[in-house]
Chains A and B, each alone.
Chain A
Amino acid sequence: MKCDDARAAFLAGQVGRAESEHLETCAECRAEMPSLLETRRIMESATFWEEPPADLEDRIVGLVAGPGPKKEPAEKPPRWQLAVVGAAAVVALLLGVFLVQRTPSPDWEVALPGTAEAPLAVGVVSGWNEPGGTRMTLDIEGLPPAPNGFFYEFWLSAGDLHISAGTFTEAQGVELWVGVTRAEFPRLWITLEPIDEDESPSGVNVMDTA
C-alpha cells in the first residue's frame, strides 16, 4: 500500500482494510489526515459547489470597459471640478506637497497629516466617486518604506467599522480602490500592519484625517 493510494482513499471516504492498516501505521499519513479531513469538510459544503451565474463575466467586462486607469478623458472637466482642484492645490501647497494633477479631476481631496508615530509624514488623498465605489490616489511625503515584515494599510472608517482600501510598502504612486464611498466612511487613515492573519487595524496609526 502506497501513501498516495491510502490518502486518496481517505480523501474519498472509501477506506478499506488495507488502507486502514496503512493509515494506522504510517506516521506521515496520520500527520496529514487533519488536512485531508478539512478538505473533505469543505467539499461537502453546498456553498463550495455553487457556480457563478452565466452572465457574471459579461457584467464584469462591462464594468472594466468603462473609464479605466489608462484611458484618456473624453470630455473636458466641468467648471465645478476645476474649482475643487484649485482649492485642493492650495491645501497641497500649504502642506508642502507637490500635487500631481490628474485628469479627469478628482471629485474630492483631503489632507492626510502624519500622527505622532510619523510626525514628518504629510499627504493628500484624491478621490474619484465611481459606480460601485471610490478610486483614490495618495500623494505622500515623509513616510519611510515599511520595515521588513510589515506593510501599510489604508482604511476608510465610520465609527468602529473599518474598510480596508488596500496595502502598500512604499508610498509612491499608490492607487487604491474601495467598494464604499467617503460619504459613508469619512475617516481616512493609514496603519502599519505586521504580516499576519489579523485583518483588523493594528494600533500603529501613522497618518489620519481624524
Chain B
Amino acid sequence: MERFAAGEPEAVRDLYGRYGRAVFTVAMSALGNRHLAEEAVQLTFLQAWRAAARFDISRDPAPWLYAIARRASVDVFRRERRHGGGVPLDHDSDIAVLPESFEATWRAWEIRLALDAMPDKYREVVEATHYLGMSHEQTAARLGLPLGTVKSRAHRAHRDLAKRLSHLEEATA
C-alpha cells in the first residue's frame, strides 16, 4: 500500500492481485452483468487510485476498497436505470431490479477473500460442491482424486471457511 499511496501505477497490479476478484464479485452481486461489473471494477480502482494519497497506509485497505466498490456498483446501477439499460446485457443475465443489500455484498466480498486465501486444493472442492452442485463422488471423478481424499478436503475446506467467516456470524448473531 505504500507504493500505491505514493502514486506508483504499477502498485495497482499488487492491489488488483489481492482484491481484484473480490471487487468483481461485489460488482457482479450488485449488477448481475459482466459488462457493467467490469466497468464498476475499473471505476473502483480508478477512484481508489485518485484517493490513494489520502489513504492511511497503516490501516487494512480491504474495508476501504469494499466501500469504493460498493459505491461504484451502485453508481453504475443508477446510471443504467436512468438510461434504460442502454448497455448491451449478457443474454443469460440481466441487471438486478435492485442492488443486493449492503450486508449481502459485504458477505460476498468476505467469502471471496476467504476463498482466495485458501489453498487451491480446498477452493476447488468448495467450488465443485456449491457452484457445480457435485457430490463427493462426482468431485472425485472430476478432479481425479480418491473419494476419501475429496471427503477429507471438503471437510477441512468448509471448516477453514467457517472459521475465516466467523466474524460475519458474530455480526449477524
Interface residues of A (CB under 8 A from B): 4-5, 7-9, 11-14, 31-32, 34-36, 38-40, 42-53, 56-57, 59-61, 63-65, 68-71, 132-133, 135, 158, 161-164, 166, 173, 175, 177-180, 197, 199
* Chain A residues, Cβ within 8 Å of B155: 5, 8-9, 12, 14
B50 and A135 contacting across the interface, CB-CB below 8 Å: yes
Interface residues of B (CB under 8 A from A): 6-7, 9-10, 12-13, 16-17, 20-21, 24-25, 28-29, 32, 34, 37-39, 41-43, 45-47, 49-54, 71-72, 74-76, 78-79, 81-82, 93, 101-104, 107-108, 111-112, 126-127, 129-131, 133, 136, 154-156, 158-159, 161-163, 165, 168-169, 172-173
A59 interface neighbour in B21, B42, B154, Cβ under 8 Å: B42
* Chain A residues, Cβ within 8 Å of B162: 4, 7-8, 11, 36
A48 and B111 contacting across the interface, CB-CB below 8 Å: yes
B24 and A42 contacting across the interface, CB-CB below 8 Å: no
A-B contact pairs, 20 of them (CB 8 A): A4-B159, A8-B156, A9-B158, A12-B158, A14-B155, A31-B173, A43-B126, A43-B130, A43-B131, A48-B111, A50-B28, A51-B24, A52-B37, A68-B49, A70-B6, A132-B42, A133-B46, A175-B50, A177-B47, A179-B47
A47 and B154 contacting across the interface, CB-CB below 8 Å: no
Q: How far is the CB of B52 from chain A (nearest CB, A)?
A: 8
B111 interface neighbour in A8, A42, A65, A179, Cβ under 8 Å: A42
B24 and A61 contacting across the interface, CB-CB below 8 Å: no
Known contacts A7-B159, A39-B107, A42-B111; is-contact A132 B43 (Cβ 8 Å): yes
